[in-house]
Structure 1
Amino acid sequence: MNIKNIPAKIYKKVFRVSELDKVVPAKDQRMLKKLDRYQPATFSFLKKSFTVVDADTFLGSYHEIFIDEIYNFESHTPSPLIIDCGANIGLATIYFKLKYPNAQIIAFEPDPNIYAALSANVRSFGFKDVNCENKAVSDVDAMLDFWLEGGHSGKVVAHTANHTSSQVKAVRLKTILQEHEKIEFLKIDIEGHETALIPDLAEELNRVEFLFLEYHSFMDGEQTLDTILAHLKRAGFRYYIQQAYPKKFPFINREIFYDMDFMCNIFCYRV
């Protein structure tokens, strides 16, 4: 169950607080639960100073990454190259470096406020070989309009979108992949922009051993899951699909949140 955008009062019913006791002191847990949405804070996480921009998305992401371990994979090398697209405040980056201390990581995060937290957290943990980039990944090198949602759902938007946006620098991910012979793990969680991204870099996916892709479907747009899966298949991947936010009555309750009607995690690997 993806809970990264559920209101706090609902979240507290499904989150097992005892699991957080191992990594966040009780006083800091109490502080986090009192915070309003999008209120930044710094506290102790895994005995390191840690900065968040939104407590709700931190709690949901912690559960997803450190408890469910959705990014868990067995590397073929002790020093894998990992590219993290949509790094947010760095929880996935921290998870990867704790699992593979010699990993080389490139972490992309376009929101400048969230990027500041990402950079601070990477410095706090003292990680080496982590390159944080304040950029979006795209199918073009350009300045793009980006909705600064403030938590976990910022995204590239069209000029006509009903969101307050700011321009961010985007880099063509295809070019990044071409610079490396082998990428052990590629994580793409970019809130819908994967529809433009995947067709552009499809020919370079043969360089990737493991791919995690979060697919987002928006109610006012065409669903493109079939196209994306076709590209993944042609790239030689096997895939496993996991629904990210189940709906009990999908014929009735169409919207999940933020104009999305479907989300799923796609785990891609080679045999």
Structure 2
Amino acid sequence: MIFEKNLRKLYNAFLKGSPQKRLQYDLQRSSFVSKAKLKKQEAHYRLELKNYTNPFFIRNRPSSDYDVLRQVIFEAEYETACTALELNFQPGEPITIVDAGANIGLTSRFFAERFPLSVIYSLEPEPQNFKMLLKNVGNFGNIKPLQKALSAEPGKRFAIGKPMRDGADWATTTQESSNGTIPGITLLELLNEGTGFFDLLKIDIEGAERFIFKSQVNQDFLDRTKVLVIEIHDEFDIRSSIYHILRKRGFNILEQGELTIGINTKLIDLES
């Protein structure tokens, strides 16, 4: 009884603590973290994780970086998409991956660990996120960081817009602007830079997917995409129209938590 009361007191004190202290506590008790060092002057952590050779960097609270780390690395939310690629295709080497909406580069790191011989185009427009992305992917020659916004049309420029949902670092939006400082890049342009096919195309661009999948936009990139994994933001009522486009292009669709995975059956037929 006394033990339970003391435990309750400790838990209540923890809940009342600052977000920074709670993050420190979470890192100390995590079974995934071997070592966590806070760089106070830069307000970020250097983390050594089990099963990863190179360190990770995340910002201290109130940043959402730890939440991204938990989802992408600890919970491996993109593992199903990777397995879908392996089970349905015979991916060559190098595997071409696009990480659109790369945030601080953790998903790119996950893909690089999962497919060591891949070439990964890591797109993140927001300057502070991109700065952290460079820290996380700097030792990886196969990850190509691009401070660009995914665009429906070539030649567009973008500015950072209002954040979505909780306003956290992972909810940054872009808006088209002739005075914008961020260049856009289309998926067809990315295709022409690489092998001509996307083995895995990941899109999490905070609602801007509605522009990529507008009916009048060229979506021929889908014909050269083997596996698509996308987070669809239902605030914009676009899920049914995206599903319609994918099915017309021969994709089988499955849902996994916040993610939608599309498998291009036409390309399976070509490989069989």
Q: TM-score, normalised by structure 2?
A: 0.71
SS at match of 1:169: strand
SS at match of 1:157: strand
Find the counterpart in structure 1 of residue 67 from structure 2: 60
2:56 to 26, 50, 54: 50
Query: Contact 2:157–2:176 at 8 Å: present in 1 too?
Result: no
Q: Hey, what's the Cα distance between the residues in 2 that align with 1:233 and 1:178? A: 24
Find the counterpart in structure 2 of residue 168 from structure 1: 182
Q: Hey, what's the Cα distance between the residues in 2 that align with 1:236 and 1:85? A: 22
Find the counterpart in structure 2 of residue 266 from structure 1: 260
Find the counterpart in structure 2 of residue 119 from structure 1: 134
Q: Hey, what's the Cα distance between the residues in 2 that align with 1:202 and 1:100? A: 26
Find the counterpart in structure 2 of residue 259 from structure 1: none
Q: Hey, what's the Cα distance between the residues in 2 that align with 1:109 and 1:64? A: 18
Q: Hey, what's the Cα distance between the residues in 2 that align with 1:96 and 1:241? A: 20
1:183 to 198, 220, 238: 198
State how 1:246-257 maps to structure 2 within 5 Å. Answer: none
Q: Which amino acid aligns with 2:175?
A: V
1:71 to 65, 73, 78: 78
Q: Decide which moves more: 195-204 or 132-141.
A: 195-204
Find the counterpart in structure 1 of residue 33 from structure 2: 23
Query: Contact 1:53–1:151 at 8 Å: present in 2 too?
Result: no
Q: Is residue 239 of structure 1 aligned with residue 242 of structure 2?
A: no
Q: What fraction of aligned residue pairs are identical, expressed as a percent?
A: 21
SS at match of 2:245: helix
Q: Hey, what's the Cα distance between the residues in 2 that align with 1:60 and 1:226? A: 28
Q: Decide which moves more: 66-75 or 127-136.
A: 66-75
Do the aligned partners of residues 129 and 177 (structure 1) sit closer, same or farther apart at CA in structure 2, a change above 3 Å counting?
A: same
SS at match of 1:152: helix
Do the aligned partners of residues 207 and 232 (structure 1) sit closer, same or farther apart at CA in structure 2, a change above 3 Å counting?
A: same
Q: Hey, what's the Cα distance between the residues in 1 that align with 2:69 and 2:43? A: 16
Query: Contact 1:189–1:214 at 8 Å: present in 2 too?
Result: yes
SS at match of 2:64: helix
1:41 to 41, 44, 57: 44
CA deviation after TM superposition for structure 1 residue 178, in Å: 4.6
5+ long unaligned stretches in structure 2? 1-17, 266-272
1:155 to 155, 166, 173: 173
Q: Hey, what's the Cα distance between the residues in 2 that align with 1:100 and 1:168? A: 29
Q: Is residue 202 of structure 1 aligned with residue 200 of structure 2?
A: no
CA deviation after TM superposition for structure 1 residue 174, in Å: 2.9
State how 1:121-136 maps to structure 2 within 5 Å. Answer: 121-123=136-138, 126-136=139-149
Q: Hey, what's the Cα distance between the residues in 2 that align with 1:184 and 1:19? A: 36
Query: Contact 2:225–2:264 at 8 Å: present in 1 too?
Result: no
SS at match of 1:52: strand
CA deviation after TM superposition for structure 1 residue 53, in Å: 3.8
Do the aligned partners of residues 19 and 67 (structure 1) sit closer, same or farther apart at CA in structure 2, a change above 3 Å counting?
A: farther
Bigger proportion of residues as helix? 2
Q: Hey, what's the Cα distance between the residues in 2 that align with 1:116 and 1:233? A: 37
Q: Hey, what's the Cα distance between the residues in 2 that align with 1:145 and 1:171? A: 14
Q: Which amino acid aligns with 2:189?
A: T
How many residues align structurally?
223
Q: Which amino acid aligns with 1:50?
A: F
Q: Hey, what's the Cα distance between the residues in 2 that align with 1:131 and 1:216? A: 26
Alpha-carbon RMSD: 3.0
5+ long unaligned stretches in structure 1? 1-7, 160-164, 245-264
2:97 to 82, 105, 115: 82
Q: Which amino acid aligns with 2:65?
A: F
**Residues 168-188 of structure 1: per-residue CA shift (max 9 Å, x gap):** 221122332355422100000
Query: Contact 2:101–2:123 at 8 Å: present in 1 too?
Result: yes
CA deviation after TM superposition for structure 1 residue 236, in Å: 1.1
